[in-house]
């Protein structure tokens, strides 16, 4: 967009890529002007949006990118020969390159999907098809048989659990689960026993969407690769908040969702190590993923197009690239530092309150700006309702992580989650709001 955004205005005066100072209050307030929804009111109060873990808000740069594409370049990609189609294809592929750079991958290793859920299912169904003998000799190494094991953890979002349950059911493989300790930390000692010569794939989340803590991915990767197993990283809650380098982490697959990182809904991405994508049979089939088609057979394009059947989500991909440009202009290290400050403030403020239990508060690991808590004697839905009346948006329920909640002895919790546009004052208002909720319900009791 032609007018400079607040992100550009605050972009690293020192110019150094390693600038990891937390954002100042003035910078956060400047950034907020780029987000129209943050200027609105809810229930008579200025909106305090503490639900970015569910979906993030979009700056003008992202909204404008989608509109500009639709109003000046809209055409189907990789199909037409006319000028508009060629230009649309170019910006679509530029957007892929932007995602690849953002996560340290090659553009041939980035597959567009609708969201992270679809990206995980893509891998699960490709392995399933390989197990049926599809994909020929190249896919043989991906074949799962009875006796093979898939390993995941007790803290996964359902999106990184149910596809593996289904894959196990389809192939006869066994699903094994790394348990948590009472605080919600992964039991690495048990993981070391679980991950063995039968393990073919380990699927783990980088950052828990309930606890906000960063998992020791390097340790899990070392265990998995030590026995020749593949690793799929659920980067849904890390890619938006931390610098992410899939090669440095040495994972084989990683997934992300655009709507959690300032982008639109309907767009996500799968990273796959090139030689793995080359060996994988497709998940969805149809137009755009083929070279030659006869009535009873077809040959497929190499990755990433092999996995992109049908008309693509072009304006969403272009808008996600605009979101990534926005994030990198501010600087991922600065965003991570800002959120670490907010995360600590959130946890310290909440755990000091009588009757409040912060899930995973004791885990000694870096965290993002996200915390879930249980208030003794008050249902999470009541907490959420009370906060909503104050204009504070939080998530309540099990956050698509029922096994984790069950393990920690609760059925639901209240989750507050921040982003680069969240101010310290909003975190303080949330803590005051929880105190007011407790006061209200205890007085009424």
Please list every residue from 274 through 303 that binds ligand PLP, using CB under 6 A: none
Q: Cβ of residue 275: shortest distance to ligand PLP, in angstroms? A: 25
119 and 268 Cβ atoms separated by less than 8 Å: yes
Q: Cβ of residue 190: shortest distance to ligand PLP, in angstroms? A: 21
Q: Is 236 a catalytic residue?
A: no
Of 430, 422, 432, the C-alpha closest to 22 is 422
Of 282, 228, 275, 281, the C-alpha closest to 253 is 275
* Piece in contact with ligand PLP (CB under 6 A), picked from 153-161, 168-176, 191-199, 243-251: 153-161
CA distances from 146 to 173, 199, 231, 427 (A): 5, 12, 20, 50
Q: Which one of 126, 159, 233, 318 is in contact with ligand PLP (CB under 6 A)?
A: 159
Q: Which residues of 380-390 are buried (b: 16+ CB within 10 A; e: fewer)?
A: bebbbebbbeb
Straight-line distance from the first to the last Cα atom of the chain, in angstroms, rounded to the nearest whole number: 54
Q: Cβ of residue 279: shortest distance to ligand PLP, in angstroms? A: 25
Count of residues binding ligand PLP (CB under 6 A)?
13
Residues 117-146 as x/- pattern, contact with ligand PLP by CB under 6 A: x-----------------------------
Burial of 310 (0-12, 13-18, 19+ CB in 10 A): exposed
Residue 415 φ then ψ, to 5°? -120, 130
Cβ distance to ligand PLP smaller for residue 153 or 305:
153
Angstrom distance (rounded) from CA 9 to CA 12: 9
Q: Which one of 5, 56, 115, 305 is in contact with ligand PLP (CB under 6 A)?
A: 115
Q: Cβ of residue 122: shortest distance to ligand PLP, in angstroms? A: 12
* Piece in contact with ligand PLP (CB under 6 A), picked from 17-25, 98-106, 152-160, 315-323: 152-160
Concatenated DSSP letters of 180-216: B-TTS-B-HHHHHHHSSTTEEEEEEESB-TTT-BBP-
Q: Which one of 116, 204, 232, 318 is in contact with ligand PLP (CB under 6 A)?
A: 116
Cβ distance to ligand PLP smaller for residue 259 or 273:
259
Angstrom distance (rounded) from CA 292 to CA 95: 27
Alpha helix segments (H runs only) across 331-444:
332-351, 380-389, 402-407, 424-444
251: which strand partners?
none
* Piece in contact with ligand PLP (CB under 6 A), picked from 37-45, 57-65, 100-108, 115-123: 115-123
Q: Which of 159, 214, 400, 438 is catalytic?
A: 400
Q: Cβ of residue 235: shortest distance to ligand PLP, in angstroms? A: 8
Cβ distance to ligand PLP smaller for residue 209 or 372:
209
203 and 151 Cβ atoms separated by less than 8 Å: yes
Of 131, 117, 212, the C-alpha closest to 163 is 117
Cβ distance to ligand PLP smaller for residue 119 or 195:
119
Asked if 157 touches ligand PLP (CB under 6 A), the answer is yes
Q: Cβ of residue 263: shortest distance to ligand PLP, in angstroms? A: 11
Please list every residue from 204 through 263 that binds ligand PLP, using CB under 6 A: 205, 209, 234, 236-237, 257
Residues 387-406 as x/- pattern, contact with ligand PLP by CB under 6 A: -------------x------
Angstrom distance (rounded) from CA 414 to CA 423: 19
Q: Looking up tokens 């229930």, which residue turns up?
A: 43
Q: Cβ of residue 175: shortest distance to ligand PLP, in angstroms? A: 17
Catalytic residues: 400
Q: Which stretches of the chain bind ligand PLP, using CB under 6 A?
A: 115-117, 157, 159-160, 205, 209, 234, 236-237, 257, 400
């Amino acid at each position: 967009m032609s007018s400079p955004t607040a992100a550009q205005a605050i972009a690293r005066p020192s110019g150094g890529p390693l600038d990891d100072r937390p954002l100042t209050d003035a910078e956060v307030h400047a950034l907020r002007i780029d987000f129209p929804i943050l200027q609105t009111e809810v229930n008579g109060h200025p909106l305090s949006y503490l639900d970015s873990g569910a979906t993030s808000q979009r700056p003008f740069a992202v909204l404008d990118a989608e509109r500009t594409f639709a109003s000046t370049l809209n055409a189907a990609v990789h199909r037409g020969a006319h000028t508009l189609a060629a230009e649309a294809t170019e910006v679509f592929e530029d957007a892929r390159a932007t995602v690849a750079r953002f996560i340290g991958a090659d553009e041939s290793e980035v597959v567009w999907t609708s969201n992270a859920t679809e990206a995980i299912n893509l891998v699960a169904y490709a392995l399933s098809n390989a197990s049926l003998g599809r994909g020929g000799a190249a896919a043989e190494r991906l074949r799962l048989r009875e006796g093979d094991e898939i390993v995941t953890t007790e803290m996964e979002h359902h999106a990184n659990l149910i596809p593996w349950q289904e894959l196990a059911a389809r192939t006869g493989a066994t699903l094994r689960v790394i348990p948590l300790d009472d605080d919600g930390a992964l039991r690495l000692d048990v993981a070391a026993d679980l991950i063995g010569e039968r393990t073919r794939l380990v699927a783990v989340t980088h950052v828990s969407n309930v606890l906000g803590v960063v998992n020791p991915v390097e340790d899990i990767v070392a265990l998995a690769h030590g026995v020749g197993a593949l690793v799929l990283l659920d980067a849904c809650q890390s890619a938006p908040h931390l610098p992410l380098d899939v090669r440095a982490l040495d994972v084989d697959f990683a997934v992300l969702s655009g709507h959690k990182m300032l982008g639109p809904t309907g767009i996500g991405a799968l990273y796959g190590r090139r030689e793995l994508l080359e060996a994988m049979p497709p998940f969805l089939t149809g137009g755009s993923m083929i070279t030659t088609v006869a009535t009873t057979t077809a040959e497929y394009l190499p990755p990433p197009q092999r996995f992109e059947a049908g008309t693509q989500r072009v304006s969403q991909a272009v808008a996600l690239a605009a979101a990534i440009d926005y994030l990198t202009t501010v600087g991922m290290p600065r965003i991570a530092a800002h959120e670490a400050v907010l995360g600590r403030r959130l946890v310290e403020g909440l755990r000091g309150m009588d009757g409040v239990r912060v899930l995973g508060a004791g885990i000694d690991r870096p965290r993002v700006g996200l915390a879930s808590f249980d208030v003794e004697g008050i249902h999470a839905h009541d907490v959420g309702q009370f906060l909503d009346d104050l204009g504070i948006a939080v998530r309540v329920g099990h956050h698509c992580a029922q096994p984790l909640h069950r393990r920690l002895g609760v059925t639901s919790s209240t989750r507050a989650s921040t982003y680069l546009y969240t101010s310290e004052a909003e975190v303080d208002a949330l803590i005051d709001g929880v105190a007011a909720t407790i006061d209200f319900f205890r007085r009424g009791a």
